Amino acid sequence: MRVIVQPDYKRASQWAANYVARRILDFKPGPKKPFVLGLPTGSSPIGMYNELTALNQAGKLSFKHVITFNMDEYVGLPQDHPESYHSFMWRHLFGRVDIPAKNVNILNGNARDLDAECAKYEDRIRKAGGVRLFVGGIGSDGHIAFNEPGSSLTSRTRVVQLTTDTKIANSRFFDNDRAKVPETALSVGVGTVMDSDEVLIIVNGANKARALRHAIEEGVNHMWTVSALQTHPNGLLVCDDEATLELKVGTVRYFKDVEAANLDPATLLR
Ligand code: GLP
């Protein structure tokens, strides 16, 4: 596992965006060879989406041959609701870059048969050749996508029940009213994310410090689903300083030391 520690959120977002851009550019995607990218919602990736948009608008990166799969969506929230993950993604990324609408995949939380929708989603990922790079964020309880504590680490895309903690955390988007947060969601599984060639998780802010400690210093545990990243051959955690508050000083120094030898992906973009 690689752990990238950046001084603040802006720098962490730039690092993540440059890394994603570098991966897409190196792949040289084309009509017959699209780059398959997994994407999250939440406040953590917004900075990265702004940076990716800037790269796109500067003509340095195109999404024309990128196929995306989002991690999750609320059940029962109308697609055009401002807090649906569909709306979020078009607002923060898809509506601002040159991605064709047909390349965007987001789970339909209003499908008549939700289980069939989830099975179809897994199928679509498989048919696209699998996800090359899955980008994610985490909840303060260490969940990835909506894989709440106790989710199987081999779980696949399915209907999930949101925990009280998550409903409280997400109520900030629903007039601070927990009752307005949907009870359930559709989410890719931990296994779905782990199947991708690479996983990059953005972790910022002091409220994620405990989860980051579990992700790095504690063992693999279904109560902190992000810890499954320890079993992935190409796992990458991109953090800001604040998120490292609960890590041992030695752990932070170790990862900074290891990364000192690596090139910043920004230098490769120039
Ligand atoms: C929701 C999403 C997760 C996201 C998490 C953290 O639970 N389903 O994918 O990682 O929120 O959100 P934030 O980045 O706003 O802290």
Q: What is the pLDDT of residues 1-59, one digit of tens each?
A: 999 999 999 999 999 999 999 999 999 999 999 999 999 999 999 999 999 999 999 99
**137 C-alpha vs ligand 1 centroid, how far in Å?**
6
Residue 125 CA to its chain's centroid (Å): 16
**261 C-alpha vs ligand 1 centroid, how far in Å?**
31
Ligand 1, CB within 6 Å, residue ranges: 40-44, 71-72, 137-139, 145-146, 166
Residue among 87, 137, 121, 109 at smallest CA distance from 237:
137
The pLDDT assigned to 89 comes to 98
187 CA closest ligand 1 atom index: 8
The pLDDT assigned to 262 comes to 87
Classify the C-alpha dihedral 229-233-234-236 as positive or negative: positive
Question: Which residue(s) pair with 68 in the sheet?
Answer: 37, 104
Which residues form the catalytic set? Answer: 72, 141, 143, 148
The pLDDT assigned to 265 comes to 84
The pLDDT assigned to 269 comes to 66
Query: For a substitution probing ligand 1, which of 88, 107, 138, 212 has the most ligand atoms within 8 Å of its CB?
Result: 138
**243 C-alpha vs ligand 1 centroid, how far in Å?**
15
Residue with tokens 């030695």, as numbered in its chain: 250
Query: For a substitution probing ligand 1, which of 9, 13, 39, 44 has the most ligand atoms within 8 Å of its CB?
Result: 44
In the predicted model, residues of the chain with pLDDT beneath 70 are 268-270
The pLDDT assigned to 213 comes to 98
Got the DSSP string for 99-153? Answer: --GGGEE---TT-SSHHHHHHHHHHHHHHTT--SEEEE---TT--BTTB-TT--T
**30 C-alpha vs ligand 1 centroid, how far in Å?**
31
Query: Amino acid identity of 219?
Result: G
Q: Which residue spans within 40-93 are E strands per DSSP?
A: 66-70, 72-74
CA atoms of 203 and 209, how far apart (whole Å):
8
Residue 116 makes CB contacts below 8 A (sequence gap 6+) with: none
Q: What is the pTM of this model?
A: 0.96
